[in-house]
Copies of this chain bind each other. A is one copy, B any other.
Amino acid sequence: MTTIYMIENMEKIGIYEYRTEVYSLDFRGMMMIPTLLNDMLHAATCHAGERGYGYADMTSRNTTWVLSRIALEITDRKRLSEPILIHTWVESVERIFTYRCFEITTLDGESLGHSRSVWAAIDVDTRRPTSLEAIGLEDWLVQKECPVAPFTKILPAEEQPDIPEAPYKVKYSDLDINGHLNSVKYVEAMLDLFDIEVYRERSISRLEVIYQTEGRYGMELGLFRRQLQPDGFVTSICHQGKSICRAQVAF
């Protein structure tokens, strides 16, 4: 089924292969979620660049893509450490936001998970969203199933944290080419709020992230975690008492 679709939409769906070498796996030999997110951003970058709306194209319009939200659902965590394919396509486009989906599969096309993400093109100088109308994303839309539960309202972890606040200072290695805290580093920092014992026994089944404010070099941040259910948590990254990023983590 997936395979048929891939062929039909070959030009619209980008398919990229990733192999995580053992030294990049976690202590259980499992792929880390930030590594997968990194590969997904790599696939998105390649897909957009090959179709005329990549980083260079956006720069020429004095804009840059920023990730606003992402939800990732993993159905088979174990096989993520084998070679994988990341399929990515543009699902829809609105005036300010565009929705990009991902499916992660084995090399044989067996599904291991899905993700939906929301992107805006901001003006490099004003950092305000710009209209997506002139980019021509409409020509690239694909109506392929992406079974990820809808985005939710993520409760503030900083209001009833279940562990002490963890300080975090934005460093050189955290910065992306825009000079802001890299999208993957936000997630890495929030997932580090869970003890190694949690990762020894459990795997993340769903992760949802909302990026609210760009983290800048030298910012003194505070990380919070709040437990909502036995297997459900929210986390947040705050700056001067206000969250700049929130996540929901389900094991």
Q: Which candidate, A82-90, A109-117, A169-177, A207-215, is the interface stretch facing chain B?
A: A169-177
Residue of B nearest to A54 (CB): B22
A42 CB-CB contact with B under 8 Å: yes
Asked whether, in the complex, the Cβ of B42 is within 8 Å of the Cβ of A21, the reply is yes
**Interface size of A as a range:** 35 or more
Asked whether, in the complex, the Cβ of A173 is within 8 Å of the Cβ of B196, the reply is no
In the bound assembly, the distance between CA atoms of A173 and B183 in angstroms comes to 15
Asked whether, in the complex, the Cβ of B194 is within 8 Å of the Cβ of A32, the reply is no
A199 CB-CB contact with B under 8 Å: yes
A194: B residues at CB distance < 8 A: 172
A25 CB-CB contact with B under 8 Å: yes
Q: How many copies does the complex hold?
A: 2
A6 CB-CB contact with B under 8 Å: no
Of the candidates B56, B171, B182, B199, the one whose C-beta lies within 8 Å of that of A23 is B182
Shortest Cβ distance from A165 into chain B, in angstroms?
14
Residue of B nearest to A217 (CB): B196
Of the candidates B32, B56, B177, B196, the one whose C-beta lies within 8 Å of that of A27 is B177
A217: B residues at CB distance < 8 A: 27, 196
